[in-house]
Copies of this chain bind each other. A is one copy, B any other.
Amino acid sequence: MTNTQVTLIQIDNYGPWTVTPTPRREVDLQTMQSRLYADVSQLVGNRQGYAFFGRFDNMVAVTNGLDVEDLALVQESIGNRYPVTASVSVAVDASPVAALGRASDRLQDAGSAQDETRREILRGETLADEDRTDEDVQIAHFDVNDATGKYTDELNEFDTFIRIEQGYAELMRYMRQAHDSLSFFVGGDNVIAVCADLDAADYRDAIDHVNEAVDVDLKVGVGQSGVAQAAGMGAKHALEECREDGTAVEFAERPAVVADDD
């Protein structure tokens, strides 16, 4: 069973900051945002977690394996290196959507995202070491079948981009409503989803739905482990198998020790 530890990292009072005293140059905002995300990605990623840029001012991370002290370090590092601060909230649940829901609630209880006195909140509970298992995190790595051949090398880049965005928008919505999962665009034609304990039929259902709804043809590799990085690497290898075998859904083999635990 999955037991995903989801962390919401929210830049404090960001909207007002971007226009105070007058609107700041977009180029600096874009640079600052994308570097701040890169740093969060490193700080979380080098502890085996995954961080997604999401809306940039609200980033979502899978942080199984990180304790509150590790999250405090992420928060402190942002404050030491950027002109803005961040609040951090964490929750654990079998359903990634439910975990992010509780993390959001906690932050909202502490005050508005645009309340200038609400700064560097750190809330929530992490998964105790004794409760961790090798199945806590399920990661699915989707991509578009032959995106380069069918789109990038054929269409106007913007029409390619529109196709991929329509596919993503539909997938993220469906995976959340039908399967309690959080899906994030990660560049190119790739989407990574943080999933509840789904099986191959669930993934086939999601792929079929997107195909019918917006005519975008996906495949997916799935990995499961105690931390996001191992699960995600399994998913990538499984996706390579899809590519080689022409299949639509592949699961990474779970390590024997996990099988024993079942």
**Interface residue stretch chosen among A47-55, A125-133, A198-206:** A47-55
A27 and B55 contacting across the interface, CB-CB below 8 Å: no
9 nearest A-B residue pairs (beta carbon): A27-B45, A56-B187, A23-B236, A28-B80, A169-B169, A34-B34, A101-B156, A34-B38, A31-B38
A156 and B45 contacting across the interface, CB-CB below 8 Å: no
Report A156 CB to chain B, min CB distance, Å. 4
Classify the interface of chain A: helix, strand, loop or mixed: helix
B27 and A46 contacting across the interface, CB-CB below 8 Å: yes
Q: Chain B residues near A79 (CB, 8 Å)?
A: 83
Q: Which interface class (under 10, 10 to 19, 20 to 34, 35 or more) fits A?
A: 35 or more
Neighbour of A233 across the interface among B23, B46, B149, B154, CB < 8 A: B23
B41 and A38 contacting across the interface, CB-CB below 8 Å: no
Report A230 CB to chain B, min CB distance, Å. 11
**A50 to B31 Cα, complex, angstroms:** 11
B186 and A58 contacting across the interface, CB-CB below 8 Å: no
A77 contacts B by Cβ under 8 Å:
yes
Neighbour of A156 across the interface among B97, B114, B149, B229, CB < 8 A: B97
Q: Which of A77-103 contact B (CB under 8 A)?
A: 77, 79-83, 97, 100-101, 103
